[in-house]
Amino acid sequence: MSKQHVSTIVNGDPVEFLADPGMTLLDALRDELDLTGSKEGCGSGDCGACSVILDGRLVCSCLVLAPEAEGRRVETIEGLAHGSELHPLQQKFLEHAALQCGFCTPGLLMASKALLDVNPDPTESEARYWLAGNLCRCTGYDKIIRAVMDAAAELRQERV
């Protein structure tokens, strides 16, 4: 089993690592690049805790092979804030108490970012369906949806 050399861009920075061909992008992020913000809750694409944005598309990094990332752009939770300034979604999640244990939070934030990138003014129903692939067992989703809607409103304000 020969490892493959992978060059990719993670959160804007070029990185390189060696990957077993069957390694997932999630394992590469966590084990090779020490980016442990993306979580594994199921390993089968059913919980969304490993959500990252790959070339602009929201994906489960557990359903991407690490070598597929060659030459692509990966955005993870570690790149969401601008330096020490939190992204409005991060800030709204905190203000609305939209997390309890916080394990699903990185995935939910990346999924929410992907939503607001394509739909700056989602309805509650659109937000709920978009985020249906991100399981949260603590909150009942109420405060998460409120945080996303509030962040969307703030981002729209910023754009005006």
29-58 residues near another protein, rule: CB under 8 A: 30, 35-49, 51, 54, 57-58
Among 10, 28, 67, 155, binds another protein (CB under 8 A): 67
Our CB check for another protein shows the closer of 129 and 160 to be: 129
CB of 98 to another protein, least distance (A): 8
The DSSP bridge pattern shows strands 13-19 and 51-54 to be unpaired
120-139 residues near another protein, rule: CB under 8 A: 124-125, 127-139
Our CB check for another protein shows the closer of 81 and 153 to be: 81
What DSSP string runs through 18-56? Answer: EE-TT-BHHHIIIIIS--TTS--S-SSSSS-TTEEEETT
Q: H or E element: which one contains 63?
A: none
* Alpha carbon distance 73, 97 (integer Å): 31
Task: Decide if residue 104 touches another protein (CB under 8 A).
Answer: yes
* Alpha carbon distance 74, 57 (integer Å): 9
**Type of residue at 86:** L
CA distances to 1, 101, 122, 156, 157 from 160, rounded to whole Å, are: 54, 35, 17, 6, 5
Task: Decide if residue 10 touches another protein (CB under 8 A).
Answer: no
Our CB check for another protein shows the closer of 83 and 160 to be: 83
82-101 residues near another protein, rule: CB under 8 A: 86, 90, 93-97, 99-101
CB of 74 to another protein, least distance (A): 12
Task: Decide if residue 28 touches another protein (CB under 8 A).
Answer: no
